[in-house]
Amino acid sequence: MAIEIIPAIDIIGGECVRLSQGDYGKVTKYSTSPLQIAKEYEALGVKRLHVVDLDGAKMAKPQNLHILEQITSATSLKVQYGGGIKDRESLSALFDCGAEWAICGSIAVNNPTMFAEWLEEFGSDHVLLGADVKDGMVATHGWLETSSVSLDQIITTFMRSGMKQMITTDISKDGMLCGPSFELYATLQERFPEVEVIVSGGISSMKDIEKLDKMGLSKVIAGKAIYEGKITYKEIEKWLQRE
């Protein structure tokens, strides 16, 4: 089974954007219509979409749920959605708007008890840990702060609550088109075989994806590389046919 490509849509003010290294001061706009982009991915055969509400991450509450609802209503895509999920009300609203998975980051660091409860209540098939890393430590609040919790610590903690999937982004690589932290993902997957590690950050070409595939990783998120034409729609379509 080939590694699954999960295209990313990052949203600010209802538009598709990308940040460089999580810096809100370095925003590139790509499209005014996330729904249109989602439909294009669906037409290629993409099954799963990664949507990040950057407004929500900054405001500590999801701000673009209407766009999530548009995408889940008008396409067959299964959506993993993150950004500002800090309370049960936001989490429930996300699922009400059709999200298949909720990506939770800051809450897992700041209120691990609540996140563990969510894993147990909603199921590890629907609640994803989003562990974004800066120098080995987990970053929070849309990458604006770095915690004192290490990646290994957070994974070990939530495996006890049944966590099965997680997204790890090396912030230093994100949006830089310089290739992902191959060693980081290989080491994580080897150390925690019970957890599916979803690769995120730094993907620059199909060669990166092929290398991750050979290393045995099962899912990879690609964003800027697609928008910048470093990975073409044709290449994605061809890869999906391999799956």
Domains contained in the chain, number: 1
Tokens 């800066």 correspond to 134
Interacting residues of 113 by C-beta distance below 8 A, sequence separation 6+: none
pTM for the whole structure: 0.94
Q: Which residues, at least 6 apart from 107, have a Cβ–Cβ distance to it below 8 Å?
A: 85, 86, 114, 115
Which CATH number covers residue 67? Answer: 3.20.20.70
Low-confidence stretches of the chain (pLDDT < 70) are 141-145, 174-175, 243
pLDDT score for 2? 93
What pLDDT is attached to residue 142? Answer: 54
Residues carrying an active site annotation: 10, 132
Residue 136 confidence (pLDDT): 81
- Residue among 97, 72, 88 nearest 122 (CA): 88
Residue 177 has a pLDDT of: 74
How far is 72 from 94, CA to CA, in rounded Å?
A: 11
The residue range of the domain holding 55 is: 4-242
